[in-house]
Amino acid sequence: MNFQLIGVLIRLRYKLLWAKTRTRNGKIALFFAGYLLLAMVAMLLSLGGVGAGMTAIRSGKAMLVAGALLGGIYAQAIVASVVLGFGMTAIFSETELRRYPVRALERRLTRHFIGIVDPYWLLFLTLDLGLAFGLYLFGAGSFWLGLIAALLLFCSNYVAARVLGMLVDRLMMKKGGSAIMLVCIMMLGLLPATLGPVIRKNPRILDAAARLWQSTPPAGAAVAMTQSNLAAVSGLGLILLWMAALLAVLVVLERRPPKTRVAQAGKVAWESPFDRIGAVFGPQTGPLVAFWLRFYSRHNRFRTIYPLALPLAAFLQFFYGRQVHAAGGTFTISLSVFLILGFIGTSQFAVNQFGYVGGGFRRFLLLPTGAATAFRAGSYMFVMLSAALILPAAILWSLFVPARFDPRAIAMLVAASVTSLFFFHGIALWTSLLGPRRGNYNQSFGNDLSFAGNIVVIGGMLSLLFLPQLAAKQWPGALTPYYWWAAAVAAPLAAVFYFTSLHFATALFRAKRESLMVLLEGKS
């Protein structure tokens, strides 16, 4: 083993890690990691803090306390490493390490050793060792058994995070994988609220979950840390079995590299669905509308967010409506949902229209129609895609929302959605020019908008979510289908605002195109 070279690679890893933490994304990652740890500490304090832990240990519940704490640490480590990339980055991949004079076995050991000595992983090791040492001080276990259990649990935690991270990476490489991943995250977020009523009706589920929990690595480590007999050996054996199984899965995943997509040679078809849709906008703007449709249809983040606009609206209608008792009843919630639906599907991209083209922005300057035509075509495309969601949402609302059928209600909801459609896409025109930011086209998750873009997207969604309820409390009876004509008047006014903004923003675009090119090419 070339330990000297491995030491050099570890020092280089720490230098690159320090450089990454000084970037904007690195600071956000550190903030989120600190937030996770703070949430865990707050949860412990809310349960009574150290005093309650000492009382539980002295009353013979040391195993339960240790299992709960170790399980929380185990889950926090996996979430933080997979979501934030701590200890999981591909800086030293197999391809990169081939440039160094190390053998195949040394490359594999070096890659995982560099990952496991990440500072964030060492923090979780400290938490595991601290818990084992604390249990020993309070007389609830053996020092050496606790030490061995903490080290084995830490190693299995790293291997589990590595396996999950590789599975997520393979999924994201598939077509539609980002959408599947986001759906899984949403289902995981809704799981506690869904399981609550089910568990209350079937208490035996808790007993089954407890038996299942006893076969996990944190439960085995809790047994080893709190027992000094053969039960401790069985706990260590449980961790070893899990680690052996996870290592086998990891080896299989590493030996089977992901399949790359092979470009298929074929006849070029100019009459694609994108071209037929773009033809609606005429011969000058139509080809550019088709270009933007192709461009964003291949963007993983867009393919994730846009199809989930309708499910998000349904979630807000039913789940948020149950939690919040609006002053205007269900119709006020529906009004907020349709206002949000008018822009949420394309908002993250409309406020930063050229953010993902990178150096390709220079090509727009060579168009015979002028680069401003591409600016207008992109805005038309976003408005068209957002408008395509309104009619299906109105049909679904009339079929599934428990309310008496009233054409005035549907007309008011559709008009409100059209109002937000033109109003926010008009604001997005100015944000794309005055607050642009260079984004990463290949990144499926994350927030790479500027401050102005975040204000429009997040602030707009929160405003439309809560302002109708505040208005209903202030003026009871104002937000009802009886005043559907008010929304019908607001819709053409918002359209006038949009087309006026498009006219003046196009003139501003001609003046700012050089600065945009410098920003998007990364020269600023």
Give per-residue pLDDT as tens, 489-514: 999 999 999 999 999 999 898 888 88
pLDDT above 80: residue 140: no
Higher pLDDT pick, 102 / 317: 317
pTM, rounded to two decimals: 0.60
Looking at residue 48, its pLDDT comes to: 43
- Is residue 467 very low, low, confident or very high in pLDDT (cuts 50, 70, 90)? confident
Cβ–Cβ < 8 Å for 141, 228: yes
Q: Which of 234, 71, 67 is nearest to 157 (CA)?
A: 71
pLDDT above 70: residue 444: no
What one-character-per-residue DSSP string does 51-107 give? HHHHHHHHTT-HHHHHHHHHHHHHHHHHHHHHHH-TTT--TT-HHHHTTSS--HHHH
Half-sphere exposure in the Cβ direction for 296 (13 Å, CA)? 27
pLDDT above 80: residue 236: yes
* Token duo for residue 465: 């979510």
Looking at residue 57, its pLDDT comes to: 59
Looking at residue 385, its pLDDT comes to: 93
pLDDT above 80: residue 328: no
Q: State whether the Cα torsion 134-223-67-147 is positive or negative.
A: positive
Q: How far apart are CA 69 and CA 40, in angstroms?
A: 9
* Token duo for residue 370: 């002028």
User: How many C-beta neighbours within 10 Å does residue 88 have?
Assistant: 22
Cβ–Cβ < 8 Å for 415, 488: yes
Looking at residue 378, its pLDDT comes to: 92
* Residue whose entry in the numeric block shows the structure tokens 């060579």: 366
Please report, rounded to a whole number, the percentage of residues in the chain having pLDDT higher than 90: 14
Mean pLDDT of the chain: 78
Q: How far apart are CA 508 and CA 460, in angstroms?
A: 24
* Token duo for residue 361: 């922005």
pLDDT above 80: residue 121: no
pLDDT tens per residue, range 195-227:
667 777 777 777 777 788 888 899 888 888 888
pLDDT above 50: residue 47: no
* Token duo for residue 206: 């808790």
pLDDT above 50: residue 263: no
Distance from first CA to last CA of the chain, Å, rounded?
Answer: 45
Q: How far apart are CA 52 and CA 11, in angstroms?
A: 42
pLDDT above 90: residue 454: no
